[in-house]
Structures are given as structure tokens and as C-alpha cells.
Amino acid sequence: MLKNLQHSEGAVKKSREELDKGKHASSTENRRMVWENVVWPLILEINKPYFTLKEYHAKRNEFCRITGIPASKVAGGFVSLLIKGIISRDKNVYSIHYRLIPYMRKKSPLEYGQVIREISTKR
């Protein structure tokens, strides 16, 4: 009974958080967090526009260990980046959008908002 009560309290707390922020804002926040703290630093570190699942997991685990953020929250942000088309997948290799490669070559810091503007721009 106590376990069910704790689970219900957790669900209510999560619902309140989502009401305060909204589902879309939470997804955007998770995408931003994963891009700016895991994916982009990984790309700059390995100096390639693609990475393996193993490389990603190592960087993600390091980030989770340092910040205490659960891997499940990071996973949601990563999947959201895939859905948005910022990252694409081919078997176990993930690639960044081709319009972001010049930033990688220059080793530029690249915030999430700039990423969205860059991949959304029609040329």
C-alpha cells in the first residue's frame, strides 16, 4: 500500500511539473540539455560528424555521473533530437545534420537555438 501511495505521489509531482512547464517546454529543455552537454561536446572531442552508440553511452554516463541526472531523462532528450532531425541514425552510427559540420570544423560552441535555426533555414 505504501509503495502505491509513493508511486501516486510521484505521478502527481510529475504532473504538476509538466503543468508548470508544459510538455513541449520539457521536451525542448531535454533536447537542449542533451545537445549542449552530451552530443556537441562529444562531436568536438572526437572531431567527427558521427559517433557510435558506445561513444555516446560513455559521454552520457559521464554527464549523468557528474550531474546526478538520470540516464532516462537524457535518453528522452536524445530520442527527441533524432525525431527533430538534428541527429540521424544508420545502424549503430549516429550523425549530426550536414549543416552543422562547418561548426564542428571550426570547433565553435553551438547552442541548441542556433542548431534549430541552422537546420530550419531554407537555402
Q: 87: Cβ–Cβ under 8 A, 6 or more apart, which residues?
A: 39, 78, 81, 94, 95, 96, 97
Nearest in space to 32 (alpha carbons), one of 58, 66, 69: 69
DSSP secondary-structure letter at 98?
Answer: G
Pairing of strands 87-90, 93-96: antiparallel
Q: Who has greater pLDDT, 5 or 37? A: 37
- pLDDT band for 8, please (50, 70, 90 cuts): very low
3: β partners: none
pLDDT(40) > 50:
yes
Nearest in space to 49 (alpha carbons), one of 109, 93, 92, 83: 93
pLDDT(14) > 60:
no
pLDDT(77) > 50:
yes
DSSP secondary-structure letter at 48?
Answer: S
pLDDT in the model for residue 92: 87
Domain covering 23-120 in this structure, CATH number: 1.10.10
